[in-house]
Structure 1
Amino acid sequence: MNTASLLAVCRVHQLLPDPGSVGVTAIDKRPVEGPVKVHKLGIHGDVQASRIDHGGEDQAVYAYSQADADYWSGELQREVPAGLFGENLRVAGIETTHAVIGERWKIGLDVELEVTSPRVPCATFQRVLGEPQWVKRFTQAGRVGTYLRVIKTGTISAGDHIHRTFVPKHGITVGQWFSEPTPELAQVLLDAEADGEIRLQDEYHSKFEKLLRRNGL
């Protein structure tokens, strides 16, 4: 299948003070040199200040495409270096927002990741970036990147190849779900899980079922 590349592996550089409910944020990610271990809960040495909305096995790793970073660099008239958006992986040759929910990537020799869900921008993201109306702009652009769960642990390094090893036939991308979470899409994803094609995040079941009930389905 398609081959892409890992441009940078990023983890928390420092915790920054934040006026939100937690008091600090771990969004300040920076590239690290050399091999980095990947565990079930993400990149070795990385943390999330709030485990309510971030982290856990279903959101262990956040990836963002260089193509989307280049878009924002033009829009913001500033550099968007790897890690600025809080991503763990900056990738090229693979569009994270257009990744199909449930597709799998092999990185390097042994690490395997599975696409789970889009990144939802928050007020902390806006405060740290310092851009007016950033949550609205990021949302409207729809270039959200993707969270991934770790299927196989191992070690990765900048420069590793990324191989897309499996793409579910349901075809719904994280960007589609983020932009238009319709009952029809929810039903397709529930059916794909029932068929054993994908494994949805636990919280998605209740969200999907509520969406279907609200629409009489």
Structure 2
Amino acid sequence: MASKRLLGCITSVFWELAEAWRYKIYAEGFAWSVSLKYILSCGSMALLIEPRYQDFFSRGLEPRVNYWPVTEMGMCESIRDAVDWGNANPNEAECVGLRGQRLVQGLRMHAVYNYMLHLLTEYASLMDFRPLVLPSLDAHEACEVSLLCLADDKQHRFLEASRAELADALGVTRLPALAPARSAGARRGGLARQR
């Protein structure tokens, strides 16, 4: 418990310090990363090194409006030029950071769901695959019994222990509504009285 609390303190101190930095650099690793929205949300001018992957909001980003672009070739010079420009134009650099922050803060789940629906619909329209079921002599329906038949004793015990059952079969009934929340002290006092 203490280590979680310490980690929470370190994390909050990190983000407090991160919000104070004038520039933040976003560089992807070998795969897509979710950190871009966190970097933009701090309000500092974000320097983006030519991202290869698109996030659900990144098509709304405009270079030199919401972020400052950094080229991969000549990266050091590009970062130096961005910092030099930002230091020479601190008000404009702050505006770039704040516009990026506003863009991220304006994201709503409704917009995310609309984007995902559009994306999946577009991908589905490109698909020309039609599944075809061919009769095969080697095809067998897999069911619970067939899995248990193939299992040795140890696997059989684990499969039986991990089997899911319907709530009705277990006799589960709906729990009554919870009483209004009380303070932790009142709950502890109630537990002490019940003992």
Between Structure 1 and Structure 2, the one with more strand by share is 1
- Is the TM-score greater than 0.5? no
- Structure with more contact order per residue of length (Cα contacts < 8 Å, sep ≥ 6): 1
